[in-house]
A = this chain, B = another copy of it.
C-alpha cells in the first residue's frame, strides 16, 4: 500500500510516521509546498520521498489531505479529478477540524464516494514537520463524517488506517460535528487567544509574565500558540456555530464579572460549583 500525505505538518507528518512504522504503508509519499518544510520532512524521515502533487495522487492508494481547511476545500475536488484518470479504487481522506464545507465541496462530484471525511481529535499547539511525533493518535477519538456518502469499501480502508493509529471511530453528521467541535474545541482556542492578548496587553513587562506564570496559566494559554494558518479558516468556516458559543461564553463571563463586582460570594460560589461539574467528565 502506498500512502500519499499532502501537507507534512503536525498531523500529516505524525500520520506518515506511524502508518509506515506500523506497517500500514509500504511507502509514504509526501507533498509539501514549503521547500524548507519539505527538506526537513525528508531529513527527519517522515516520508520516503517528497514528490509533486499530481505525481503523489497518481501513485498513492490512499491520499491524506492534511493542510489548513481553506486550502483543503479547494484541493479535494482536484484529487478526485485525478482519481478519474487513474485505475484502481483509490481513496482520499481529509483530516480537517471543520467538516460541513469540505463535504459540500464535493457533494456532486462523480467520485464523491472515494472520499471519506475524517477528523482525528489529536494534536498539540505546535505546527510544521518538526512538530510531528510518533504515537500522537493513540487512544484518541477519530470522527468519521457522512460515511453514508462514501463507498463502504473506502470507509473500511480508512477504518483500518485509523485502527493502525489506535483511534476510536465515532460516526457523525458533518453539520453536527461542526456544532459539537465549536463547543468543545474551537471556543477553547478563542478563549486562549483572548487570554494571551489580555496578558500581553496588560503586562508590558514580559519578565513578570515569565516569573508569575504558574502551571495554571501556562496550560490555559497553551492553545494561544496555535497557528493562524490553521485557525483562520476554521473560525470563518464554522462562523455561525462559533459565534453562538462565543455569545454563551460572554454571558457566563459577564455573570462572573457582575458577581465579583457585587462582592456576591454566594453567586461566585454557585458559579464555581457549577463549573466544577466538568470534573465528572474530564479527568
Chain A window 248-272, contacts with chain B (Cβ cutoff 8 Å), 1 for yes, 0 for no? 1110111111001101010011011
User: A180 within 8 Å of B by Cβ?
Assistant: yes
User: A232 within 8 Å of B by Cβ?
Assistant: yes
* Residue from B202, B255, B269 in contact with A183 in the complex, judged by beta carbons closer than 8 Å: B202
For residue A269, which residues in chain B have a CB less than 8 angstroms away from its CB? 228, 232
For residue A184, which residues in chain B have a CB less than 8 angstroms away from its CB? 199, 203, 208-209, 212-213, 217
CB distance from A200 to the nearest CB of B (A): 6
User: A221 within 8 Å of B by Cβ?
Assistant: yes
Chain A window 218-238, contacts with chain B (Cβ cutoff 8 Å), 1 for yes, 0 for no? 111111111110011001100
Bound CA–CA A250/B254 (angstroms): 9
Bound CA–CA A185/B85 (angstroms): 58
A167-212, CB < 8 A from B: 170, 180-181, 183-185, 187-203, 206, 208-212
Q: Is the CB of B225 within 8 A of A199?
A: no
Q: Is the CB of A225 within 8 A of B263?
A: no
For residue A128, which residues in chain B have a CB less than 8 angstroms away from its CB? none
Bound CA–CA A277/B279 (angstroms): 31
**Secondary structure at chain A's binding surface: helix, strand, loop or mixed?**
helix
A125 to chain B: closest residue by CB:
B216
User: A140 within 8 Å of B by Cβ?
Assistant: yes
User: A40 within 8 Å of B by Cβ?
Assistant: no
For residue A214, which residues in chain B have a CB less than 8 angstroms away from its CB? 121-123, 140, 185
A130-161, CB < 8 A from B: 140-141, 143
User: A239 within 8 Å of B by Cβ?
Assistant: yes
User: A242 within 8 Å of B by Cβ?
Assistant: yes
CB distance from A161 to the nearest CB of B (A): 19
Q: Is the CB of B246 within 8 A of A253?
A: yes
Q: Is the CB of A274 within 8 A of B220?
A: no
* Residue from B215, B231, B246 in contact with A272 in the complex, judged by beta carbons closer than 8 Å: B231
Q: Is the CB of B278 within 8 A of A221?
A: yes
For residue A222, which residues in chain B have a CB less than 8 angstroms away from its CB? 216, 219-220, 282
Bound CA–CA A73/B180 (angstroms): 44
User: A275 within 8 Å of B by Cβ?
Assistant: yes
Q: Is the CB of A212 within 8 A of B180?
A: yes
A-B contact pairs, 15 of them (CB 8 A): A121-B213, A122-B215, A180-B203, A191-B195, A192-B275, A194-B249, A194-B252, A197-B252, A200-B274, A201-B248, A220-B223, A224-B278, A225-B279, A236-B263, A236-B268
Give the 3 A-B residue pairs with the shortest CB-CB distance, closest first.
Answer: A228-B272, A196-B275, A196-B278
